[in-house]
Structure 1
Amino acid sequence: MSYRLYVRSVSGSVAVEQQPGERRYSWALLDSAGHCQTRGEADSQDDIEQTLAQNAIEHSLLIGLIPGDEAAFCLANIPAKQQRFIAQALPYAVEEQLAQDIETLHLALGNHGDQGYRVAAIDRERMANWVGVYSGWRDLTLSGIYADASLLPPRADGWSACVDGEVTMLLGPAGEWLSVQTSNLSLFLQTLLVPGNDAATALTLYLEGQAGDEPSLLMTNRVAQDEIEITTEHFERLPVELLALSHQHPGAGAINLCQGNFATGPAKKSALTPWRPLILVAAAWLVLQLSLETGLGWYYQNQADNLNAQAMSFYRQAFPDDRRTHPGNARRVVEGQLRQNADSGPSLNFITLMKFTGQQYAAVSGSNGIRFNSLNYNQARGELVVDLRADSYDLMSRLRNGLAAQGLDAQIGSVVNEAGEIRGRLTVSGG
């Protein structure tokens, strides 16, 4: 289960100057369903980490909340739609709305509203300090940093306010946020009644405790009370829990300050992140396939080397003095030697053909059973034609097979059965 830990400094802006062991936080832990599992107030970082460890909660996301007055809200009217062009035009679009040099500010882009893009601006050095405050927590990954007031429940037709001791957080209908001293809240309400101010005059006020605990400061200005629609919501939870639960709302448009050079954790996820399991499986399969192919290649190469060694061993036995032949050219060398031996063999002229035929004649019949009637030799075709008679066709066939075994081409034709003998014609050539 994925958990999200919302952490807010109790000491406000002073936290960046304090030592890590001196800092105290109010915090709320939400599960993946958006339910608060546990909370704490004025706890140190070690206390929070120990609580998570005792509950076996690991690898969770951390959302850091900073005071609303640390980041300024402004609007940017940029006609471009491509992210690259928006990022290039953003400093020029908000420069006139900010009192500080734009080069020293970190700008974070929010959603696009009716009046343009919502933008948060914070001093770069202060942003780096806050990143340092919320980074390096044990078993926690920094997911984002938000101005606390920007996480209040939004109200499209008016303002939302949460009283947190001496400080009151406010969120306007356009997504603007600010933090004021609670003692100055009534003055802020009067600014909503200034003639010509088109701002909505409805307010949802979130208060800790039971009904009847409203601050007396709201009762001191009856004009504001009569002309501003004030809805009071009481809750028995810490303000950080209210902010955390509101952040889970699908319509929440709070601006994550962890962008650009300060992007971290989930904010830096690649577009390929949803495909990571499939990529890992494919990579594992590829490694396995390569390992198998490598193993088979090594096995077949080893077999080929063994066969080459055996072939060369036989070759060395036949040609012990040849040292230039190797497995790569052995076939070509042997074929050349065979051609050379064939070319240097006996000339297949009349005498040679007659010699082989006479040898086979003597071996087959011993001068009995086969009789030569006549001999003809065609020098142009290199053929010896023997007209012969035999007691049986088997004797003729044995004569022909014997010549074929000597590498000659021997054919029997014009076979005729006569009384008591077989007459045929034997044609012998060099093959």
Structure 2
Amino acid sequence: MTEKLLVRVGQSQQEPVSWLIWSESDSQIIASGELEHSGLLGELTEKTSGRSTALLLPASSVQLKQVALPTKWNRKLERALPFMLEEQVASDIDDVFIAFGKPTTIDDKHFINIALCDLVWLQDWMSVLEDFDIEPAVVTPDALLLPSPDTDTLSAIELQEQWLFKGEHWHISAVESDWVGDYLSLVPESQITHYSPATSLDTTKQLIEKEAEYDLPLAIFAKGLNALPINLRQGPFAAKKKQPQWWRDWKAGVIAAGVALLAFVSVKSAQLVMLQNEADAYKAQAMSVYKQAFPNKVVRPHLLRKQIQNELDALSGGEQGGFLELTNHFVSIYAQVDDFDPETFRYDHKRNELRVRAKAKGFQIFSQVKSILEQRGVEVQQGALNNDGDYVIGEIRIRGAA
């Protein structure tokens, strides 16, 4: 995906949430803004469509550590690491989430870069995003995305009455503006490379101004995603390998559509002059699918057509009836259109609307699909289309009678 949505949250869900849409191909900001609190995250749900989402955590809530290892990093050390850290963290180690970064070697000694944060705190934030149907591909602390500093130098930027700093050796910090002078007097680095005006920095250290690179903090963070140092989407927060979203959401409806299709084939085949063995094969196939769709029902071969019809009649009276009708319309395009791949299906039964997010080889294919569906007498709305490499990604909405 060439566009990215960055969402930067605070320590609490009552704090402002900053967001920015970044075009990777054009290296420019498409849109940005700020929400008063996390309860308004629903305003960003539509903005995630066709874009990769990154959740940026406040540096003040994530601790980075470089842990010395007795040998080269391996699976056994990964399991043992929580016990190695017990005396180095103030809270119970079971309440801490540990994310693993890249192993490194310094002066022939082995180290592992890790990030730690409160487990429940991160779970709460991920739950909030899930409630608004926002699934970040990347979760990482904000200050870690600052440009990498030179030796004996800190990278710095001002954000929401704080200064964020990134050091050379796996070190980040977030300091309230009132305490920056005290903080800088204690750090060993002698130079500060700043990416926002530093008139408020009270320090005797050498200031290196990057005025030509001044930009919104989230825009600078977006550039840092290209060399992501660590992604907290691991362990209990790893993105689950799952079946396509449309299949998980509409499995029952798709099975019902399959049964309807097989029933249709069975009826038509009975009207045609066909060989008996072909008729028997269709009948056996219908029985097999019927058993999968309705495992608790007894199959009566001589009454199979009536059983299928009864199930479809019962299904059409419920919430899935509209979905079944719209799905049948949508299935019709597969025999007529090539290089058109649906990625997600969403059905709004109140509006009797099926939303299909798909990718195709060109813009004209979406127009062809729209034309075919309109010829079948359904209302079709086509959303925005975006280039994504060799493909075009967009959304089509199919609406039946409300």
- The TM-score range, normalised by the shorter chain, is 0.5 to 0.7
Change in Cα spacing, 1:299 to 1:269, as seen in structure 2 (3 Å) is same
Corresponding pairs, count: 248
Q: What is the Cα deviation at residue 45 of structure 1?
A: 6.6
Change in Cα spacing, 1:72 to 1:48, as seen in structure 2 (3 Å) is closer
Question: Which ranges in structure 1 are unaligned for 5 or more consecutive residues?
Answer: 194-199, 219-223, 274-290, 305-431
Q: 1:27 aligns with which of 16, 19, 40?
A: 19
**Which amino acid in the other structure matches residue 187 of structure 2?**
L
Q: What is the Cα deviation at residue 155 of structure 1?
A: 1.2
2:199 equivalent in structure 1 = 214
1:284-323 to structure 2, matched below 5 A, reads: 299=275, 301=277
In the alignment, structure 1 residue 247 sits paired with structure 2 residue 225: yes
Q: Structure 1 length as normaliser, TM-score?
A: 0.50
2:126 equivalent in structure 1 = 131
Contact kept, 8 Å, 2:156 with 2:165, in 1: the verdict is yes
Kindly name which structure, 1 or 2, has the bigger radius of gyration based on alpha carbons: 1
1:8 equivalent in structure 2 = 8
In the alignment, structure 1 residue 263 sits paired with structure 2 residue 256: no
Change in Cα spacing, 1:299 to 1:206, as seen in structure 2 (3 Å) is same
Q: 1:203 aligns with which of 192, 195, 202?
A: 192
Cα displacement string for residues 132-179 of structure 1 (whole angstroms, at most 9, x for unaligned residues): 2333434x4221222211221111412111122421111110121111
SS in 1 for 2:91: coil
Give percent identity, aligned residues only: 22
1:7-406 to structure 2, matched below 5 A, reads: 7-9=7-9, 12-15=10-13, 18=14, 24-33=16-25, 35-42=28-35, 53=46, 58-78=49-69, 79-82=71-74, 84-115=75-106, 116-138=111-133, 140-157=134-151, 158-193=153-188, 200-208=189-197, 214-215=199-200, 217-218=202-203, 224-225=204-205, 229-234=206-211, 237-248=215-226, 250=227, 252-253=228-229, 255-264=230-239, 268=240, 299=275, 301=277
Q: What is the Cα deviation at residue 42 of structure 1?
A: 3.8
Q: What is the Cα deviation at residue 47 of structure 1?
A: 7.1
CA–CA distance in structure 2, aligned partners of residues 187 and 50 of structure 1:
39
CA–CA distance in structure 1, aligned partners of residues 42 and 278 of structure 2:
58
CA–CA distance in structure 2, aligned partners of residues 132 and 303 of structure 1:
52
Contact kept, 8 Å, 1:118 with 1:175, in 2: the verdict is yes
**Which amino acid in the other structure matches residue 127 of structure 1?**
L
SS in 1 for 2:143: helix
Change in Cα spacing, 1:135 to 1:35, as seen in structure 2 (3 Å) is farther
**Which amino acid in the other structure matches residue 13 of structure 1?**
Q
CA–CA distance in structure 2, aligned partners of residues 121 and 28 of structure 1:
26
**Which amino acid in the other structure matches residue 217 of structure 1?**
D
Q: What is the Cα deviation at residue 57 of structure 1?
A: 6.4
SS in 2 for 1:162: strand
Change in Cα spacing, 1:186 to 1:61, as seen in structure 2 (3 Å) is same
SS in 1 for 2:155: strand
Q: What is the Cα deviation at residue 302 of structure 1?
A: 5.9
Q: Structure 2 length as normaliser, TM-score?
A: 0.53
SS in 1 for 2:184: helix
SS in 2 for 1:217: coil
**Which amino acid in the other structure matches residue 41 of structure 1?**
E
Cα displacement string for residues 362-412 of structure 1 (whole angstroms, at most 9, x for unaligned residues): xxxxxxxxxxxxxxxxxxxxxxxxxxxxxxxxxxxxxxxxxxxxxxxxxxx
CA–CA distance in structure 1, aligned partners of residues 73 and 219 of structure 2:
35
SS in 2 for 1:99: coil
CA–CA distance in structure 1, aligned partners of residues 219 and 55 of structure 2:
13
**Which amino acid in the other structure matches residue 141 of structure 2?**
A
Cα displacement string for residues 264-305 of structure 1 (whole angstroms, at most 9, x for unaligned residues): 3xxx459x99xxxxxxxxxxxxxxxxx9xxx9xx9573699x
Change in Cα spacing, 1:45 to 1:97, as seen in structure 2 (3 Å) is closer
Change in Cα spacing, 1:183 to 1:50, as seen in structure 2 (3 Å) is closer
Change in Cα spacing, 1:69 to 1:175, as seen in structure 2 (3 Å) is same
Change in Cα spacing, 1:299 to 1:57, as seen in structure 2 (3 Å) is farther
Question: Which ranges in structure 2 are unaligned for 5 or more consecutive residues?
Answer: 245-261, 267-273, 281-402
Cα displacement string for residues 173-207 of structure 1 (whole angstroms, at most 9, x for unaligned residues): 012111111222222222135xxxxxx43321221
Contact kept, 8 Å, 2:58 with 2:142, in 1: the verdict is yes
